[in-house]
Structure formats: C-alpha cells, structure tokens
Chain A
Amino acid sequence: MEEKTNARRDFLSKLGMGVVAGAVLSPLVSSASKLLLNNEEGVEIKNFEGKLEDLLGGDFENIKLKMQDDLRRALKKPMKERRWGMAIDLRKCIGCNACTVACISENALPPGIVYRPVIKEEIGTYPNVTKRNLPKPCMQCDEPPCVDVCPVSATWKREDGIVVIDYKACIGCRYCMTACPYEHRMFDYGEKYSEGLPRLAEYDNRPSFEYGKIWERPDKHSSPVGNVRKCTFCAHRLDQGLLPQCVTTCIGGANYFGDLNDPDAVITKIVNKLNVFRLKEEMGTQPKVFYLT
C-alpha cells in the first residue's frame, strides 16, 4: 500500500504539477460539487417487480439481465459500500464499435470526444495474421493520477469508485489530460457534428444526461463546453438501475459490469480469474477495468 502511494507521489512530482495551485484556487469552487453525489443513501428503484431475469420466462442464462439484477441489488446499499468495476473479454470483442457509437449517442458527445474508443491492431505476417481489438473506457482507477493534479478540485473519485468531473468547477486547464496515463480525458471544444451544414441537426441539440443532470451545450460558453470530459461508467444510468450503454449494446457480449464488493455478482466471479489483466498496472493506478484474454 505504501509502495503505491509513493508511486503516485513520484508520478505527480514528475509531472511538476502545482498541488499548491489547487489549494489557492479551491475556495473558488462552488459547493455545486455536492450535486454529483446523488444516491448516497441508496435508492429505491421504481417499477422493480422482482428480478429482471424472471422476464425471460424460463430457466435460461442472460448475463446482461443477471448483471442488471446485480446492479439493482447493489443500489440498495449505501454508495460507499458499492465499488463499480468493468471487465472486457477480448476474446469476445469483435471490434464492431457498437459501444463507441452507443456511448457517443447516449452522452451526446461532440466531435473529437470519444469515451469508448476501440484500439484495433493487426498482428502477424501473411498468412499468419490476426486482429486484436481493445476497447478503452476510463479505467476508473482506485488511485487516479488525474485527480490530484486538478488545481480546483473539480475532479475526484466518488465513494463508489467512479472518477467524476464537476463541470461547473472545471476551469478547462487540462492538467488532468496530461496526467492520465491512459490518455482518456478529452477537452470539449464546443464543436457540433452538423455545424456549418444547412441546418443544425436535432442530434446536436440533444442534451447530455451525464451525472444525472441535463447539459444542453447551447453555446460555446456553457458547460461542459470548455471542460474536460470523461467516461463515467454511465453513472446517470447506474442511478436508474441500468447498465452502462457500452455493456447493454455490446453485440459480442464482451462486457461485464457490476459491484466488485458483491461476492455473488457476475463481475466479481469474472475478475478473479487467471486470464485477467489490467492496463499499466505497474503504475499503481489500480484500474477497475479488467481485461480477459
């Protein structure tokens, strides 16, 4: 444990970040930050009529419904007792990018911002060739290097482990983008896909529902324009008892999600296997995204 802490400190000092700067600016941060901490006490899910798995009308396995039941069960606990994690089975990832696009659509992401890229590689020499696909959401590190560099404390790890950004507090300095070893954080320049076309398309005006709020991005001066943005595990959906979009829409069934603190959850059984690895583990970031090979 000590080793990890040191590693993080070293990492930060290497970046030469002004931790002091954060201290100076922090009084300017509004108390709006608290808004991000909904579901602290656990929530009652409406329309909950037993297990969703029962909707199958038979004794079949539907992992996604099973995981959604896991999730709904976890939501009944106080937030601090939940620890969200994701696993991606690379053997099942078919590189289709359904997750990428579902995420863009769900979170109304502008051009240049992709929370869920899939890195594709060709390996080998003809005719002994294959392809490898590596989806890369935010790793939701337990020791997130992006957090401590924020001069205004606009980003932090929630009690349930999700690393969040308070758009109202973020000043868009982009230190965190440099700090993230996974190059995950992106800056919202306020662009729109249909900008400059005969008319602005409806999809460019649909608000984002991130953090359980409505973000309309009406102009170049309203958050989250000018802010850094990142994957939240679809926190706004989790609060509603829904799995992240990349999980629900995955046509290869490669994604697993749930509460790592729940010994009975699908996710917990999956991440404790020999064929599991995490990206850049050596940095001590303790990612909560696990890969299966």
Chain B
Amino acid sequence: MKNIIDNKTSRRSFLKNSALFGAVAGGSLTGFNVFANMTEEERIKFNYEIQKSENVIYSACLQCHNACSIKGKVYNGILGKIDGNPYGPQTMLPHIDYKSSLDNAALVDGKVCPKGQAGIQTLYDPYRIRKVLKRDGARGANKWKVIDFHQAIDELINGGNLFGEGTVKGLKDIIVLKDAKVAKEMAADAKEVGKGKMALADFQAKHSGNLDKLIDPSHPDLGPINNKFIMMCGRIEHGRKEIGKRFTNNTMGSKNFFEHTSICEQSHHIGYKEVSNQWVVEDGKGKWTGGKTHLKPDILNSEFVIFFGTGAFEANFGKTSMAQKITDGLVNRNFKMAVIDPRMSQTAAKAKWWVPIKPGADAAFAWGMIRWIIENERFDKKALINTTYAAAKETGETTITDATLLVKIVDGKPTTFLRANEIGIGSDTEFVTLVNGNPVKVDIQGEKAIYGDLNISTTIKGIEVKSSFQLITDEAMSKPLGDWATICGVNVNQISEIAKEFTSHGKKAGIDFYRGAVQHTNGYYNAVSIIYLNMLIGNTDWLGGMQVGGGHWHEDGSKHGIYDFAKANHPNKLTAFGYPITREGTKYEDSSLFKENGYPAKRNWYPHTGAIYQEVLASGEDEYPYGIDFLFLHKGTPLLSMPGGSNAIEYVSNPKKLPLFIASDIIIGESSMFADYIFPDTTYMERWGTPHTTPDVAQKASKVRQPIVPSITDMVDINGEKMPINLEAVYIALADKLGLSGFGKNAFDNNMELTRSEDWYLKFIANIANEGGGVSEATDDEIQLFIKARRHFPKEYMDITRLKKSVGGDDSLFRKVIHVLNKGGRFSDYKNAYSKAPYTDGQLKGFLKFYVENVAKSKNSLTGLNYNGIGAYEVIKQMDGKATGFETKNGDELTMSTFKEVFGGQSRTIGNYWTQLSLDPENVLFINKIDADSRGLENNDWVTIVSDANPTGIIDLQNGTKIQVKSRVRVIQGIRPGVVTMSWHFGHWAYGSTDVVIDGKTIKGDARRKDSACPNPIMALDNSVKNMCLTDPIGGSAAFYNTKVHIKKV
C-alpha cells in the first residue's frame, strides 16, 4: 500500500518548499493546522461551515470587467470558495428579492464563470508581493531589495542619487504648482492662449511669478510641470477610478490619469457616444454634449441578435449574465443569432448564421445590410420620420433620429447640419427639415410634432442639402451588394439573409458589437455603421431591442448624494490644466502648437476620445507634447497587453529617458519588472470598490466590492492608521508627505478625513445606500452578523467604530451601509425592470444621429483633413492616411487575429492553475486546415511568427534575455482561411514565470507560466508614428486584428 501512495515528493521537500522566501513569500498558513490530521470523531461531526451566513461576505469579482456580484465563502479565515451572489442580477436569473434574509440567501448559490471561480488562485498566488521593492540593479534586471514603505515614499518625494546612477528628480520638484488659486487662474488663461484668444505676452506678464512652474512658458497651454507626473492604470473600476482621478488631477495637479480602454474596445464606446450625444441649447447657444457609451440588446425579450465581433459565452460584458438568457431562448422560444467573427466561437456554434468575415471589413458587411434594408424598404419608416420628440411621443417612440434633418453639402462633401437661420426661417440652434417638400425649422425639444421627409436632395436658397437618411442611402447604394460582400469576404446571400431576418422581428431584434468590430484603424467608422442598423429598425428602448440597462445608484453622490464627490468634497483642490500627454479630448487647432507648427502635427490629437493607453508611453518617448518625469503604473502591463507593446521596453528600461517609474502591482509583472519601485497592491478580494453593471442587466444594480479576507500585503502605519499596503495607502502617504490637498485630515468638506481606504469607499457606499429613500437600516442582529462574518480580520483593519466614523458617525446611515455591505450591493428586484412594457425600464430617450456633425468638424492632425460625418467603410490605414504597405504583399501572409479563451484574462490569469492547467495549459496558434496543408503544417508543429514590425519575432527584454515568439499550431476548420488566431493571455516573461532575486535570494519562477506566446509583440506598428501600434485616429482603439504575419515551421 505504501508503494502506491508514495510519490516522488517527500514530506521533507514539501516542507522546504513552503518555507518563506524574502518579500515574495506569503505569511503563515493562517487557519489551517496543515499537519494535524483530524480524528475520526472530528470527521464525523461535519458541519458545512462554508455555507453559513456567518461565513459569507458578498463582494464583486474582478477577473474581468464584468465584475460579477460574488459570494465569498470563508473557511477558517481563508477564502475557500467563490460562488455567485443570489441577490445579484448578473449571477442568478431571476435573482432573489432584495429583502430576502441573509440566512435564506446563504442557502442559495448563484453562478460564476470559470475565471471567477479561479479568483481564489489570484488572491493566494504564491508570487504575491508583500513588501515594497526597490530595484537592486539596472531596470529590468529582476534584482530587488526590500525597502520600508515610508523610506520609499521619502525617496520618491525627495529624489537624489537613488540608484547610484546620478541624481533623480523627486516629486517635490515635479509637483511644483501647489497653489489652488494660482492654478485656477493660470488654467483659464492658458486655454485662451491655446485658442489664440489671449496673447502669449499678456499671459507671461500676468503670471510672471509662476512661469517657472510651466512645462514651457512659451506654450503655457501645455500646463504645469505637474503634468509630467503620469498615472497609468490598467484594469481600474469605479471607486478606485474616482480616487485615482482625485489624486492625479486635483491633488497632484496633473492632467494625466489614464485607463486602458483603448486596448479594450474604446471605439465602440466612442461610436455610441457620438451617435447618441445630445443637442443642448442653453442661453441661446447650442452644443453637442453627453451621449451614452454603451447599449446592449435586451436578449431576454429579443427574437434575433447579431453578435458583431463578439459573442456571449466567452468574453464580452459579460458572459455570466448573458449566456443563460441566450440558451434559454434557443431552447424555449425559437430565439436566433448570427455571429460575425472570423473564428468559430462557442456563440457562433449555437448561432443560425456564422459569418467568418475578413478582419477589418466589418463596415462593408453593415453597409451591405443597410443597402438591402433600404432597397427592400424594410426599415421602420414610422420611427425614422419622427423629427422631434413631440412626434416621437405621438407615435409611441422614446427616441428620435436625424434621418430627416438637412446636412449642407460643400464640394460634394457633407459638412454640418443646416441651421434654420441660414435660410432665414429660425435661429442658429434650430435644424431644418422638409415636410412635403417645404422647409420647416426644427427645435427637436419643441412642442411641435414634426414628421419630415426621409429622402431629400435639393438646394435651398443656394445651399445644397441632403437629409441624413439620403446620405446613408447614397453611401449604401454606392456599391452593389455583391461588392460589399466581396470587400468583407462573405457570401452575398449571408448579407441578404441576415438583413431579412434582422428586419423580420419588428423591434425585437438588435446588434451587439464589441472589440472584434472596432479594434481596427477604422474602428469608429465600423462602430457607427453597425449602430445605423439598430437605428433603421428603431429598436432602442424597446423590450427585445437595444437597452441602456438598469443603471445604478450614484455612488459619487452626483444625484443628491450625501457626499457629492462630483462637484464638492475636495477643499483646496488643484485645477489641472494643459493637454494630457496623449492629447485626448483636445483639438490640435485649439493649441499653441498648431499655431506654431500647423499640419502635420508630430502625433495625432484626439478630440473625441480618451483613455488612449498606447499613446502614453509612445508620446512620452517622443516627448510630444512633453516628456514623462514620473510614471506611476497601476494594475496594468502595457508592455505585454498593448499591440507592439514590447516595443516600449527600450524606453522604459532607460532611466535617462524615463527618470522615475513606480508600479503598484500584486505580482512582479511584465511591465512592473522595469519599475524602480514596486508597491504591493491588494487584490480585488482584499479591498473596496463600487463597480458598475453591464447594460445587459435590465435591473438597477450597484455592486460593492469589499475585503473578504485580510490583505496578504504587509500592514503599514500612516499617521496612526494601520492599513494594508496598497494603492490607496500610496496615495494617502504621498499626499501627506507632499502636503497636498484631498487626503489626510480635512480632506473633505466639514473637516472630514481621508486617512484610510474606508474613509473614501464607505462614503461612496453611503451614497448608494441612501439615494432615493435608501435601503432599510440593518437590525442589531444583522450588525452582529456583519461583525461575526469579519471575525478573521485584525481589529485595526475592520473596526466597527472606525468604519462608522468613515460615514460621519450617523447611526441610521451606518446601518444602511451595513445593510448594503451585508448583501454585496443594492439591487432592484427582478420585476422592476418590466414596469414600462413594451419599453425597457431604463431608457435612452435620446437623439440618435446618422450624421455625426461633431466628428465631421474635426480634422486628423497629421493630414489636416476632416473626418467623415457618416460611418463610411474605410480600408486599414496608417494615422497619416497612407496605406499600411500590407496591400503589396505576395499572398502567403496570414492575418493575425486574437481572442480570449473563456478562462483567460490578458495578463493576470496565468497563475490560475485550476483553469490554466486543467483546461488548456498551453496557448496555440489556430489555423485553418487549408492554410496548414499549404504550409505542410500538422497539429502541434512549432512555428515562429514574424511580421513587418517584428521581422525576427524576438522580444528583447533589454536585460540580456531575448524571447522568440513561437507557438504550436492547432489545425482546425472553424476559422476563416487566411486568418490565424491566438488566445490573448499567455506568453509571460514575468508574473512568476521567471527567476527573480530579492535581497540576494533567488526566487525560482514557475515554468508553467512561461509557456507559449503572446501575439502582441509581433503586431503591426504605425509607420507614420513609428513607436506605436496602428490606431483608430477618431476612437483611439489599438488595432489588434490588422497585422499580417508569416509563420515558419521550427
């Protein structure tokens, strides 16, 4: 018997392996008496402790942005199991009533995806960092020493000869503009200088005492030196996002707070925002403002959904809530789908149509459908002729479109909407349509119900005009259906069949699209073209059509919250000014740089978008418009996750180009390994947050993320408050030592303090708990349960009186907060989403536009040419409008595409062995059998992958290590020939995969994490800017699917 169970690992080596290793090693094996076997008697007295309400803490996942509501089950102080929160609409369908007791809810487990289940392995990853690390060698050398938290903060502030490489400028010399009043005045004037409305000399005279605080006194519109502090965040969500912006913008006075959305699906958001933004007239002046960035089909009530460059079962936003709505529909009620994706996904496998489209030609498919719908008059004419909201009301619609509004045509090109004053029938805030051929002024909000003509092409008072509907009709008719089909590489019948199906269900059809359709250089145009299809059947706000979702209670207090963080609660806040380093949200033409240099600008400016992740380091390297002095990277790994990101390794490795670089990370990652200092961070299971909910969910939902277990990171004492070392602790310490506003004592109005995380997050949660009447107060028993469920926390970490102080000490409010915490958030009951049938409960009630004047008025800063007002099909291009060079290839190249396996999450799931090892331990390059045969490739053959941008396929870590991008191939049928694809969460060169040395001790990496490739290092760069991937100039999306590669058998 011994022989059978004797295995190669002896108990002795087992013990050795569990010994502590410097800063990386975790603490004790709390809670488990590992080496004591239970007696048989103890074994019999089994009690399923893990299911009891006193061992449950509800929180929110963050293995992906879907941030599902989760039920953390604690066993002997350890997070033992993650399930879905039955109170949450994402994790149970239908979810249980909010008033259900905690004991009853404990009896019910909701659903969570495999990635969410495996979150436990993110929390307890043996490579978690516990202490602050400082590099002990060159950048990227993987050599570290442990440094005291406070000493690290001091060094960052004071600078000096920190690494024996010469003097480094500290934050005290970067955050130089600290006077709130001065900053506010300079901000206003600098903007005027940029616009040319204030002379530079006047500015310099007025602010002569503070010119030394500017990046460039001759270009004050670049802002203060403070802007050279850059806060770059990867996966960041509400709660942390707001405190990060507060710290960066209003404490540090820097314009540079970034999220990562452009490497996700930003152009999709920008497409929706521009199409749905509103024409608002105030004080006689009109402007485009607002707009909704995301709508989703109401799948539960829909009869047909097209998934365009996305699906519902593997990624998206998100599978846990969407999947069952679809599968129930497929089996129970003849629900149908079409999936447009070069890869046969799990969603495509269940769809009636799989359309293996040519990557980047998405708009052509949409325009083919538009043509068929217009030719066959299958659009909802009754909805489209509603010119004003009054007309919509009469005809039972909640939204209007610009279909009937007139757009001026100059030299054959549409420019702006015709305003009523231009033909002398009204004001410059009113539009114009024709009613039975007669011009009528249009106040869309006015009382008059106007039904305009749809197809208009005429000249009024010498002005050539067309209706928006005419513009899209012209574009659709510009090519025969067969040509549209050829461009996107699909069978023409698929276009007409899907167009017919789409228009056969009244309002009960919709199109969901995500990154597959928009992470291209033409991403914004693709987005808008696809949105037109939804507009043509007038499905917005209808059950079964497109919905904005149930929304949330406003945690930032912007809707009469107790603590309003949107407008108040930051005494002496700095006004950040100048241009973000990415030049987002800014028109080049409104800058002093334009006045000096004209076209072409050195790099593009992006008035319509934000969060352009790939521009941050590339612009810093180019010092355009200025360089980076201090990079603070949080929970992101741009070098791994950006297309062509490894190209930036050279820049971040060089302290002469990038003087200070710190990271906040849970593990030494692919990018943080190049940092000067790494501050350990808490995982989502050890900290707070208030994430938002996907529009897929029709019920109002405010989730709360809260610590389920104490932090694995060390505790630190900051001014008497003990807290885990994490991002918030760094903010608090830096603000304190720099003597800046917004943190510490008197951080908020009414002398309230922000001296620990809870002071921030519990106020957010108080807003959620209190809005609109609020939740009921927790009873004494429920408070006891709250305390009992947290008995595994150190007292100073989860002290009930301190928590109460964080929400101002009010007993009633605190009880409401406890109520919300006890249930993991605040959730509207299932039935509430259907009180307005046949309309959705949450409504856009918006003005959807075929013609986006706002974009048509902007110019590409490299070409000086205006963008299109309609979402025309455009070929893949460089930023400067020139061809990429791909067109001239000889034909044996393949188009690289990427996707994500259901269990993968970009950079942070490789340590999730339950999924990585049990489901698919190795990444593979999926290739169609036709392409494999023609190259003599068979399953499991190794190939190298190269491209123009990376002709050797080598990643140079600049530390002596070079990695060849290579992979095994998997030969399949379910992919478009000519396209290859890889899942996008392998190919690690850090994150526990490589040896690191800490305080002279080597910590061995785990080779299982290193396997296979990440496709990003071979992705195409934009030759017009050189150091950045191909990018959508309007929406800012990074191009993930526009690279041509060659593969070669090894």
Q: Which residues of A are at the interface with B, using a C-beta cutoff of 8 A?
A: 32, 35, 47, 49, 52, 55-58, 60-62, 64-65, 68, 89, 91-92, 94-98, 100-102, 104-106, 111, 114, 122, 124-127, 129-133, 171-173, 189-191, 193-203, 205-207, 209, 212-214, 216, 218-222, 225-226, 236-237, 239-243, 245, 248-254
Contacts and interface: CB of A to CB of B under 8 A. Distances in A.
Contacts of A96: 113-114, 313-314, 319, 323, 346, 902
B320 A172 contact: no
Contact of A226 (B4, B120, B973): B4
25 contacts: A52-B108, A55-B97, A56-B96, A57-B830, A62-B93, A68-B107, A89-B327, A91-B327, A91-B350, A94-B346, A96-B323, A96-B902, A126-B928, A129-B344, A173-B4, A194-B126, A197-B1006, A212-B46, A213-B46, A214-B42, A216-B37, A241-B107, A242-B109, A245-B109, A253-B327
Given A56-B94, A105-B120, A97 B111 contact: no
B333 to A, nearest CB: 13
Contacts of B974: 122, 126, 129, 131
Interface residues of B, number: 114
Contacts of A61: 94
Interface in B57-114: 75, 78-84, 86, 92-97, 99-101, 103-114
B927 to A, nearest CB: 11
A225 to B, nearest CB: 6
Contacts, number: 300
Nearest to B1006: A197
Nearest to B108: A52
Given A52-B107, A131-B349, A198-B25, A249 B112 contact: yes
Interface in B313-338: 313-314, 319-320, 323-324, 327-328, 330-331
B137 to A, nearest CB: 20
A183 to B, nearest CB: 16
A175 B451 CA distance: 80
Contacts of B124: 201-203
B4 A194 contact: no
A100 B114 contact: yes
B5 interface: yes
B963 to A, nearest CB: 22
Contact of B109 (A58, A189, A197, A248): A248
Contacts of A64: 92
Q: Which of B1, B84, B118, B919 has the most CB of A within 10 A?
A: B919
Contacts of A197: 17, 126-127, 992, 1006
Given A62-B94, A97-B915, A220-B11, A47 B104 contact: yes
B903 A101 contact: yes
A190 B917 contact: no
Contacts of B992: 197
Interface in B995-1014: 1003-1004, 1006
B46 A47 contact: no
Q: Which of A100, A127, A239 has the most CB of B within 10 A?
A: A127
A137 B138 CA distance: 52
B279 interface: no
B323 A94 contact: yes
Nearest to A209: B48
B218 interface: no
B104 A52 contact: yes
A111 B82 contact: no
Which secondary structure dominates chain B's binding surface?
Answer: loop
A101 B918 contact: yes
A134 to B, nearest CB: 13
A43 B903 CA distance: 38
A126 B330 contact: no
A64 B105 CA distance: 14
Contacts of A92: 324, 327-328, 330-331
Interface string B1-27: 110111101110010011111001110
Interface stretch (B28-36, B404-412, B851-859, B881-889): B28-36
A58 B6 CA distance: 57
B83 A248 contact: yes
Interface of B: 1-2, 4-7, 9-11, 14, 17-21, 24-26, 29-32, 34-38, 40, 42-44, 46, 48, 50-51, 75, 78-84, 86, 92-97, 99-101, 103-114, 117-118, 120-121, 124-127, 313-314, 319-320, 323-324, 327-328, 330-331, 344, 346-347, 349-350, 354, 356, 829-831, 902-903, 913-915, 917-919, 928-930, 972-977, 992, 1003-1004, 1006
Contacts of A239: 48
Given A58-B829, A248-B111, A32 B40 contact: yes
A208 B354 CA distance: 43
A277 B183 CA distance: 74
A195 B1 contact: no
B114 A101 contact: yes
A198 B78 contact: no
Contacts of B92: 62, 64
B46 A252 contact: no
Given A201-B121, A202-B78, A111 B313 contact: no
Contacts of A216: 32, 34, 36-38
A96 B1004 CA distance: 32
A207 B902 CA distance: 27
A53 B801 CA distance: 37
A169 to B, nearest CB: 12
A62 B349 CA distance: 26
A287 to B, nearest CB: 22
A47 B108 CA distance: 12
Q: Which of B50, B110, B111 has the most CB of A within 10 A?
A: B111
Contacts of A190: 5, 7, 9
Q: Which of A198, A214, A222, A226 has the most CB of B within 10 A?
A: A198
A280 to B, nearest CB: 24
B456 to A, nearest CB: 41
Given A91-B331, A195-B9, A202 B29 contact: yes
Contact of B977 (A126, A191, A222): A126
A57 B75 contact: no
B321 to A, nearest CB: 8
Contacts of A65: 96, 108
A218 B20 CA distance: 19
